[in-house]
Structures are given as C-alpha cells and as structure tokens.
Amino acid sequence: MQYTLKYNPPMDLAVAKTNLREIKQVLEQLGIVFLLGSGTCLGATRDKALMPWDDDIDLLSVLGVNGLTEAKVDTVADALREKGYFIYEFAMPNSKAFATVKNYVRISLECVRIADDFIYLFPGGFKIPASMFTQPKEIEFLGEQFLVPNPPEDYLRLKYGEEWMVPKKAGEYEIDVVGKIPDTGFVGQPLRIRVIDREGDPIPEAEVVLVGSGRSRTDQGGYAQLLLPGPDYCSLIIRYPGHEQVLYMEEIEPGHTYVYRADAASKAASSVSGEIGTLGNLLLLE
C-alpha cells in the first residue's frame, strides 16, 4: 500500500476492471450509492475508458444522502477485507475515506460531507456544488451502468480546468488542478517547510504554497511558516527561479518542520524500476 501511495504506478487495466466490478457489486449489495470521480470520471467521460496511465480508481459517495452513515462506510471496508482487499483509512477533515489494494491496483472510496450546499474535495478543499453529487447522471461505462457528477463536463472543468479534454499524464496535470484553487487562509497551528538545494544548502525567498490555505516565502535559512488546522493530506507547490514542483499528496501536521530537497522527485523516481506516476510523500521530517 505504501508503495502505491508514494510511487503511484499505472494500473494494470485488466485487474482494475475486475476490481471495480467486484467493488461495485459489494457496494450495490450494501445499498451504497456511489459515483465515479476525478480521473476515473475523466476517463469515462472523455475517453469512454480507463486512462492507461492512471494510477487508481476514484469513487465518491455522500454522507447523509441515501442513508449513508459512517457506520455503513465501515461495513463496506469490512466486506472488502473479506474479499481480500487491503484497506488503508485516511484521516481527512471533510470526508471519511479509505483506499483498497488488491493485486496491486488501488481503488479509493471517499465519502464526503455536505457543508452549506457544497462539497469540499482534495486537494485544498476546493468546493463543488453538492447538487452535482446528490443528483448524479447515469452513464454506460465498461459495459455497465455507473453514476457520475451531473453534469460531468462542469465537474471536470472545475476539477481540471478548461483544458480537461486534453489528455495529460502524471507530471503534467497536477499544476492545472492545484494552481487554480484560491487561498482561503486556514486558521490553525504553525508548521514549517524548509527548502534546500541539491547540495543541502538553504534556498531563501522560495515561495511555498499550501494549496487552498495560504503561501509564504522562505527566510535566509530556507524556512517558510504555514498554518494548518490539524493533521491532513495536503498539496503544496514549491517555486523559486528555475524550479517549480507540485507535491500532490503529503501527509503533514502542525508542530513539525518538513524538508523539501530540490532533487527529491528525481531521487525517488530513480530509486525504483518501472513506470511511476504522481509522486507522493516527498517531504522529510527535519
């Protein structure tokens, strides 16, 4: 599981289809209404297929709608464990979520909460009108009927930007997703990000963006201070002249200092054989 979360290799599409159909059957037997989300919705809408470079399947459901409770979500996790799925639960403030892995394919189920007629999604808590999820659209996909946000084109435009119809692989689409999310100014406790170059020397005046929250610049020691309400999975952007890196999924919490090294992504990529996707958890605790 940790390997798939860090390196996000492309899925085996045959296994992915088998797992999706099996999970669909479990969810339907338990009376859980779910939608295709993120890249899975993108592939189903634009390509009428799973994208060959995608690293997981994304499913969404809405807590408090169609009788879905947190206890029912736990029932789903237990049922999938019985079918041989490894379950990894995510502690996220706006949802109850878990990832499953079976035969090296990851499928995530995020059960989101409605707040003021909106749903707040990863990354950065960007908001989508709840009606897109509570009044979904049915489509045919992989020879079966699935639900997607309605209208799917508007959802994908909000998620991926105006160029959502243009195929983009890992390393190309992430800035489209995080770059348009406005700063909301989280109220919380401080944490620090230290930015260093390949030799380990601090980089002053680097911009560090905590997506959906705020931004800061590093001091002469390479430290930038940000605020976060509590432990969470977050996206960050590190920028300085000649360098821009999206850290798409980092598990961080207040009260700690994390180190970003300029060659973190290239070192992680070179440490494994085979294809990789969007790298995660590149920050190190100081």
- Give the tens place of pLDDT for each residue, 152-189: 999 999 988 888 898 877 767 778 788 878 777 667 89
Q: Supply the pLDDT for residue 3.
A: 63
Does 112 reside within a domain?
Answer: yes
* High-pLDDT (> 70) share of the chain, %: 92
**Least trusted range by pLDDT, from 71-85, 91-105, 236-250:** 91-105
Task: Say whether pLDDT at 73 is over 90.
Answer: yes
Same domain, yes or no: 269 and 194: yes
Q: pTM to 2 decimals? A: 0.84
Does 103 reside within a domain?
Answer: yes
Q: Domain range holding 18?
A: 2-167
Same domain, yes or no: 157 and 29: yes
Enumerate residues 6+ apart whose C-beta is below 8 A from 10: 52, 53, 54, 55, 275, 277
Q: Supply the pLDDT for residue 264.
A: 85
- Give the tens place of pLDDT for each residue, 94-149: 789 999 999 989 999 999 999 999 998 888 778 899 999 999 999 999 999 999 99
Does 176 reside within a domain?
Answer: no
Count how many domains the chain has: 2
Q: Supply the pLDDT for residue 163.
A: 85
Q: How far lies 276's CA from each of 6, 64, 111, 271, in Å?
A: 9, 37, 27, 11
Same domain, yes or no: 193 and 117: no
Does 172 reside within a domain?
Answer: no
Distance CA 1, CA 277 (A): 15
DSSP 48: S
From the CA atom positions of the chain, what is the Rg in Å? 19
